[in-house]
A and B are shown apart, each in its own frame.
Chain A
């Protein structure tokens, strides 16, 4: 089963590689991993998307907790939560008709065109991974040059919060 694990850890050099190294050393799956400092600059927040049986995910959370740089974590999957991912997509749109159609698709998916040249659009789109997949499918008839996906971020709904 797919799990989204959010982790608060010390914002120190090496902390990221401890987490990444743990996953490779113990053979755990890692679908995506995002990390950035939080409002408290001494803290980083990481979102890891992984999959495995309940036993494996239990081990993953225990092993993460055991890392000295990890302060706290939350398995989002155990709570109602929101997940979002952003993609930046560069599409070649040389023909006027293509420009029309790509613009229309972008609007339908509530994306935005954030860079325009004679030949290209850069489209920004956010949502759950499945929505991004659907959009990429929709624009696939056009020459997609580049796709950048941020990886998943997650936050719990309501009162549940991952904080110190």
Chain B
């Protein structure tokens, strides 16, 4: 016990935890109780400013916090117990790390006196999470708790965002001290980039205006950096073609005629061809991921590259760039727009005309075409109908696999923060808990979870959470009875040896949904798709599980096979 324990203003570590979260403006925590966090749960119970959502598995808590953060401008917060609570949270933490999601994850820990003793429910949480966090802390003294929480939120949300873990031993939550939440924080070892380093702006503008075959390539950084509006202004001013990465969808309105669709392994033919033939590439908040570049030796062979990123280590990591600009996307874009306005030169209209003519020719391939006359439900058709019927206004989460690609290809996002998926880690099972987090951030919005029968089973237990909190999520299960993407690779590259890719013994999803208290519908004819989606959308208060029995043999096209260049796509 601290010596101030009896003074009238001292409060316990557990209360400090609650007060700190209140000071950070946290309105909801996703979590699961256990021995090491009982003091914290007791303190949460005795206040009413921070609400708590009880998930059914700690993985769900962290993914829900991610969904909350990705769809809003606030960090997500999760709370789990020590040992298995912490290890169950790891997948979500790693997922958030790969996709730069601002999260603060609190883990309980055994009392300090037992640390290192192999105590009940002890793991070295700081050690296990170290490679997949932006930073982590072990709080050994209650006097450090408030400052550490302040630091955690500061680190998670500034610079390139990411998850921060705060490990709190049980005795620290019981001990008392005076509470004072720091107004601001300075860490001499952490100096994220604010604003933009504009020394290179003129050089960038010269290069941008000299382009004959320009291409704008933007990623999740535009969304994280709230640069969507500035990007749209910048792109329209130039009249250049633009593509978004999987993480960057919604950063530029997909309905705009300058938008060429997503790029990369399952991006559009026109986006990838334009990348390949570009002479100037303007990369903004993107990290040249291998699913985007294809074979790095063959990537953008003719292009000079401008790269804007808040994280210096993203620049020239995979691809050497010519004009690096370290800074937050939004202010850098504003500086670029200003410099463009001030420049005497304009883009070369004749060259741009010829370039657009070439691009329209690539577009005429209609690379996303699929059989619309099929008697089987085509998964693309389901996504397209959902997009039409929600007028492109829904928040859409996905799991990982073929359905994820179809969702990215066929749901046109015109706004940022509407498309919530796992791009970097590629985590099956995220879709439903992501959707929960989104629905908490946007209680009145339509939230769709586009998933498959394999992914959805990885966090299916959260249907129970959805019932407890009456979350009216619309689940679109594209059920092809296969691990679709695995099956596709086996068809293409393993001569059709479908090792372990068939999902046998599937549950009856309609009954399953009903067992959890929701509405379930099974749809197996193309003609019933539209009606079913309409009916689901009309059920405004209920979670509806739409089990679409889709064509088993459908593949995601187009595709850059592994090792190929962006100009070597397999078309339908």
Contact = CB atoms under 8 A, between A and B. Distances in A.
B502 to A, nearest CB: 35
B187 A68 contact: yes
A18 B190 contact: no
A71 B138 CA distance: 20
Contacts of A1: none
A10 B313 contact: no
Nearest to B134: A68
A96 B527 CA distance: 101
Interface string A66-86: 101111000000000000000
B135 interface: yes
Nearest to B317: A59
Interface in A125-164: 164
Given A17-B130, A18-B130, A21-B130, A66 B187 contact: no
A100 interface: no
Given A14-B130, A21-B130, A68-B155, A58 B316 contact: yes
A71 B313 contact: no
B312 A71 contact: no
A96 B504 CA distance: 81
A18 B190 CA distance: 14
Interface in A1-16: 9-10, 14
Sort chain B's interface into a size bin.
10 to 19
Interface string B110-145: 000000000000000011001100110010000000
Contact of A21 (B131, B134, B190, B312): B131
Contact of A69 (B127, B189, B312, B316): B189
Contact of A66 (B126, B188, B311, B320): B311
Contacts of A50: none
Contacts of A69: 189
Nearest to A59: B317
Contacts of A115: none
B555 to A, nearest CB: 34
A63 interface: yes
Contacts of A68: 134-135, 155, 187, 189-190
A59 B317 CA distance: 7
A55 interface: yes
Nearest to B131: A25
A62 interface: yes
Contacts of B313: 59, 62-63, 65-66
Contact of B189 (A55, A62, A71): A71
A27 B188 CA distance: 28
Interface string A31-74: 00000000000000000000000010011001101101111000
A102 B361 CA distance: 82
B355 to A, nearest CB: 31
Given A18-B130, A55-B316, A68-B155, A10 B311 contact: no
Nearest to B314: A62
Contacts of A17: 127, 130
Contacts of B317: 59
Contacts of A62: 312-313
Nearest to A8: B189
Nearest to A13: B138
Contacts of B126: 14
Contacts of B135: 68
A10 B137 CA distance: 13
Nearest to A69: B189
Contacts of B189: 9-10, 68-71
B296 to A, nearest CB: 12
Contacts of B187: 68
Nearest to B130: A21
B292 to A, nearest CB: 19
B312 A65 contact: yes
Q: Which of A9, A10, A17, A66 has the most CB of B within 10 A?
A: A66
B347 to A, nearest CB: 32
Contacts of A164: 188
Q: Which of A14, A55, A63 has the most CB of B within 10 A?
A: A14
* Most chain A CB within a 10 A radius of its CB, from B313, B316, B317: B313
Interface in B316-347: 316-317, 320
Interface centre among B155, B188, B311 (most CB of A within 10 A): B188
A58 B317 CA distance: 9
A123 to B, nearest CB: 38
A94 B229 CA distance: 82
B337 to A, nearest CB: 28
A66 B134 CA distance: 9
A162 B312 CA distance: 21
Contacts of B130: 14, 17-18, 21
Interface in B219-274: none
A42 to B, nearest CB: 9
A25 B190 CA distance: 21
Interface string B439-471: 000000000000000000000000000000000
Contacts of A71: 188-189
B314 to A, nearest CB: 9
Nearest to B127: A17
Contacts of B316: 55, 58
A69 B134 CA distance: 11
A9 B190 CA distance: 11
A164 B189 CA distance: 10
Nearest to A66: B313
A76 B313 CA distance: 20
A18 B129 CA distance: 11
18 contacts: A14-B126, A14-B130, A14-B138, A17-B130, A18-B130, A55-B316, A59-B313, A59-B317, A62-B312, A62-B313, A65-B312, A65-B313, A66-B312, A66-B313, A68-B155, A70-B189, A71-B188, A164-B188
Given A55-B320, A62-B312, A68-B135, 6 more contacts: A9-B189, A17-B127, A63-B313, A65-B313, A66-B311, A68-B190
Interface of B: 126-127, 130-131, 134-135, 138, 155, 187-190, 311-313, 316-317, 320
Going nearest first, the 8 A-B pairs with the smallest beta carbon separation are A62-B313, A68-B135, A71-B189, A68-B190, A25-B131, A62-B312, A66-B313, A63-B313
